[in-house]
Structure 1
Amino acid sequence: MTNIFLLGIILANVLISIKGFNDEYFFRKYQFHVGSIRAGEQIRMVSSGFLHADVFHLAFNMIALYSFAPVVTDNLGNLTFVLIYAGSLVFGSLLTMYFHGNDYSYRAVGASGAVTGIIYSAILLEPGMTIGIFGIIPLPAYVFGIGYLLYSIYGMKAKNDTIGHTAHFGGAIGGYAITLLKAPELLQESTSMVILLAIPIIILFVMAKTGKL
C-alpha cells in the first residue's frame, strides 16, 4: 500500500507546481528570491520548494522522492520522514541564503533540496543498497552520495549552470543531521559510514571558511 504521507507531499508538489505553470504572478510571488526574502517574505523559503520550472523538473524530483522515501519510512516511520523532508527543505533554503544572501537577484524553485535530504537519509540508513546511474550503471549508495555532494561543491564553485547546487547540498546536510538525531544508534553501528558521508560536508565548510567558494 502506497504511503499516504508520501502521496500527500507529491500531490502538494504537483498541484502547486501546476498552479505556478499557469499563473506567472503566483509563480513569481512564491519563488525563492533573495531580495524579497531579505525584505521580509520568508514564506518563499518554504513555498519555493513546491514550485518547479517545468514538468520535467517536477517529474524528476517526484520520481526520485518516490524511489527513496520507502527506505526512510520503513526505517524511521512516517512522521520522521515528513520531518526530514520539511527540515531538508529549510536547510536547503538556509544554506542558499548563507551563500547567496548578498545576491539580491538570485531566484530558485524546486523540491530538490528536500528530495536530496531524503536521498541522503536513505543512503545513511542503507549505505549498501545499489543505485543505478541512468538506470544502467550500478553504484553503491554511499559512493553515489559522496560523489553527488562533491559534484555539488564543484557546481557551487563553477557557477556555470542554472542548477541549485547549494539547495541540494543544504538538503543533504538536513537529511544527514536529522537522521542521526532520530537514529543516534547509527553512530555506533555504522561509524565508518557516518564519517565517510560527512566528508563532503566538512570539505564544503572548510572551503567556505578559507574563501575558496
Structure 2
Amino acid sequence: MTSGTISFLLIIVTALISYKGFKDHFFFEKYEFGVDKIRLYKDYKRLITSGFLHVNWMHLIFNMLGLYFFAGSLIRELNTGQFLLIYFASLVGGNLLSLLVYKNQGDYTSVGASGAVNGAIFATIALNPSVSIMFLPGWIFGLIYIGITIWGVRSKRDNIGHEAHLGGALIGMLLAICLKPDDIQENYIYVLLIAVPTLVFIYLIITRPHILMIDNLFFKTHTDHYSIDHKYNETKANQQQEIDRILDKISKRGINSLSQKEKKMLKDYSKK
C-alpha cells in the first residue's frame, strides 16, 4: 500500500466520522475526549476516538492538510506500520497529557487529530531538521512552535488544546528517534533543542502543577476544583441512596410497586 493511499484513507475515515459528529450530537458526545468519562468511567476508547472527531469544517481541514503534507514523506522515510504507530501513539500521548493537565477539571472535553498530526510533523523534523515548514527550517519552526505551545498551556488564554499538541509532538519525535536511531546521530543537537524544553515543562507539570495556576480571562488561581475522587465518591453515594430508597419501597409496598426504571436500576446494581 502506497504512502498516498494510507494518508488518503486516514483523511477519508476521519472526514466521514467527523461529518457524522457534525450531524449527530449524541454520537459526538459518545466518542469525544472527556476527563470524567475517562478517569471516572474508564472509557479509554475516547483517547483514540476523539482523534476522528472535529469541532467544525475548518478544524477538520486544517488538521487533514497537515496530515496530507507530512504523512507521505514520513512513510517513505520509515514504513506504513511505523507511520501508523507514530500517528496513533502521538494521538494517545497528546490526550494523556491533556488528561494529566485537566485531571481536576472533570467537565473538560476536546476533539481533534492535532496530537497525531503534530506527532507526524515532529517525527519528520527529528529525521530531517532542515525540512522546510512555512518557509522556515524544520528545527526553527519546531522551536517556535514548542515555545508558543508551552506559553499556551501556561497562560490558558484561548480554547486550543495546546497540551495535546505538545504531548503528540514529543511522542512523535521520541518514536522517530527510537525507530531510526542512526539518522538521529546527525541531528541530535536539533532534536535536543526541541525535546529538552518540552520534557522539562512536562516534568514541571507533573511535579509542580501550581505553575499552571495563573490568573487570566479563562482561568482563576483560586478556583476550587471538584476533584475526580470527590465526584466518584458522590456518584457512589447517590447510587447507594437511590438503592436504599428502592429497597425501602419494596419493604413497604412490595416489589410490584416498582417502576420499570427502578427494577432496571436494582437489576444493574445486583450485577456489580
Higher Cα radius of gyration = 2
What residue is the counterpart of 1:35 in the other structure?
36
- The one-letter code sitting in structure 2 at the alignment partner of 1:58 is L
Distance 1:65 1:96 in 2: 21
Aligned with residue 166 of structure 1, among 142, 163, 183: 163
- The one-letter code sitting in structure 1 at the alignment partner of 2:117 is V
- The one-letter code sitting in structure 1 at the alignment partner of 2:71 is A
| CA contact 1:71–1:126 (8 Å) conserved in 2 | no
Per-residue Cα deviation, 1:100-120 (whole angstroms, up to 9, x for no partner): 112100010000000000010
Task: State the shift of 1:79 in Å.
Answer: 1.2
Distance 1:181 1:202 in 2: 16
Task: State the shift of 1:188 in Å.
Answer: 1.8
Task: State the shift of 1:194 in Å.
Answer: 2.1
Per-residue Cα deviation, 1:31-78 (whole angstroms, up to 9, x for no partner): 111111111211111100100000000000000110111221111111
Distance 1:164 1:194 in 2: 23
So what's the TM-score if we normalise by structure 1? Answer: 0.93
Within the alignment, does 1:71 sit opposite 2:104 as a pair? Answer: no
Instruction: Determine helix, strand or coil for the equivalent of 2:160.
Output: coil
So what's the TM-score if we normalise by structure 2? Answer: 0.73
Instruction: Determine helix, strand or coil for the equivalent of 2:136.
Output: strand
Distance 1:203 1:36 in 2: 29
Distance 2:73 2:81 in 1: 14
Instruction: Determine helix, strand or coil for the equivalent of 1:190.
Output: helix
Aligned residues: 208
Aligned with residue 179 of structure 1, among 155, 169, 176: 176
CA RMSD, 1 decimal: 1.4
What residue is the counterpart of 1:212 in the other structure?
211
Within the alignment, does 1:157 sit opposite 2:154 as a pair? Answer: yes
Within the alignment, does 1:25 sit opposite 2:22 as a pair? Answer: no
Instruction: Determine helix, strand or coil for the equivalent of 2:181.
Output: coil
What residue is the counterpart of 2:139 in the other structure?
142
- The one-letter code sitting in structure 2 at the alignment partner of 1:73 is I
Instruction: Determine helix, strand or coil for the equivalent of 1:212.
Output: helix
Distance 1:123 1:153 in 2: 18
| CA contact 1:131–1:141 (8 Å) conserved in 2 | yes
Higher RCO (C-alpha 8 Å, min separation 6): 1
Aligned with residue 55 of structure 1, among 51, 54, 57: 57
Per-residue Cα deviation, 1:89-142 (whole angstroms, up to 9, x for no partner): 01011111111112100010000000000010111111112212xxxxx21111
Within the alignment, does 1:121 sit opposite 2:123 as a pair? Answer: yes
Distance 1:99 1:52 in 2: 21
Per-residue Cα deviation, 1:139-164 (whole angstroms, up to 9, x for no partner): 11111111111111111111111100
The runs of 5 or more residues in structure 1 that have no matched partner are 133-137
